[in-house]
Amino acid sequence: MAIISTADELFDSDVYVDLGHTLRIPLHLKCEGFNFAGSVKLRAATSMVASALRLGLIDEHSTMVESSSGNLGVALSVVAAARSLRFVCVTDPKCNPATVKLMRAFGSDVVVADRPDADGGYLTARKTLVRELCSRNSGYVWLNQYENPANWLAHYENTAPLIAKQFPELDVLFIGTGTGGTLTGCVRWFRDNRPGVRIVAVDTVGSVNFGMPAGPRHLPGLGALERHDPAGALTSVAISADMGDRYIETVYDDAWVRSIYGDLDKEQEESHG
C-alpha cells in the first residue's frame, strides 16, 4: 500500500499491458498515466523542481515558467500546487482545451503563444515568449526542460532501471520523442548498464528531431516492429507516456482525423484494390 503526503510523490508504476493477444507480436506497453498528473512527465517535473529548489534557483517567492504543449505543463502544475509554488505555463493553440482547463484548475497561469513559427510550428514562439516573460519579471525562473539535466536524470534514475528490473531479458525499448528527456535518460542508463538493449526513438513526420524537414505537427508532445522480428522472439517494451484521454477530441475523433488526414478507410480500400 502506497501512502503519500503530497500529489507529486506518486509517479512510479509497474503496470504493463501485454499487447501480444491484440497485435500478435511480443510487445508490452508500460503505462505511465497512473499518477495525479496523468503522464510520465511527472517524473521530470518533480526532478526539475527539486533540483531548482536544492540549487537555490527558486524559492517560495519565485514564479516558475516553462514552455509546454500539454503533459509537462500539467505535471508542473501538480508539483507547484503540492509545494505551494507559482507556475506559468507558456503553451500554444494546439494544446488541448481540457489540458488548459486542468492546468488552471491546479492554480497555474496559462499564456498562449498564438503566432506560429516560420515552419508552422510553435516551439520557437513559445521559447521566445518565455524569455520575454522572464526579462519583464525579475521573480520569474525558466526551468528550461530542453537543456535542464534534471529532466533526463529523472528517467536515468527511475524509468529505465524500473523497466530493466521488470524485464531482465529486454531486447528492444520504444520511446516517443518530444524534447528527448525520457529518451536521453533511458539511452544513457541502458548504455551504462545493459548495452545490449536496443532503443528505438519514435516521432511524427514533420519533426526535426531526426533531421527531417520541418512541417506541420498535429499531435502535441511528439515532434513501430513486426517486420524486424518475424519469429516473435524479441522481448520488447513501449512506453505509453499517458493514458490517451487528452486526445479524445483529436486522435480518437473521426471527424478530426478526416479533417487532417482525409478518409483513411477509403485510401486503404483503394490501395488494396
Q: What's the pLDDT tens digit per position in 184-225?
A: 999 999 999 999 999 999 876 555 545 555 555 555 544 447
| Residue 27 and residue 79 in one domain | no
Question: 147-179: string of b/e by CB count within 10 Å (b at 16+)?
Answer: ebebbbbbbbebbbbebbeebeebebbbbbbbb
Domain of 113, in residue numbers? 41-142
| Strand pairing category for 86-91 and 63-67 | parallel
Is the pLDDT assigned to residue 157 strictly greater than 70?
yes
Distance CA 144, CA 137 (A): 16
Distance CA 92, CA 74 (A): 14
- Number of domains, the chain: 2
Angle at 11 between CA 9 and CA 17, to 5 degrees: 155
Of 30, 41, 127, 165, which residue is the catalytic one? 41
Domain C-terminal end among 95, 115, 142:
142
Decide if 65 is inside a domain. yes
The β-bridge relationship of strands 140-142 and 63-67 is: parallel
Shared domain for 29 and 157, answered yes or no, is yes
Please check whether residues 136 and 164 belong to one and the same domain: no
- Report the pLDDT value the prediction gives residue 246, as an integer from 0 to 100: 78
pLDDT the model gives residue 224: 43
Q: What is the mean pLDDT of the chain?
A: 86
- Given a cut of 60, whether residue 109 has pLDDT beyond it is yes
Q: Does residue 266 have an active-site annotation?
A: no
Can you give the CATH number for the domain in which 176 is found?
Answer: 3.40.50.1100
User: For residue 222, what pLDDT is reported?
Assistant: 44
55 and 110, same domain (yes or no): yes
Question: What pTM did the predictor assign?
Answer: 0.84
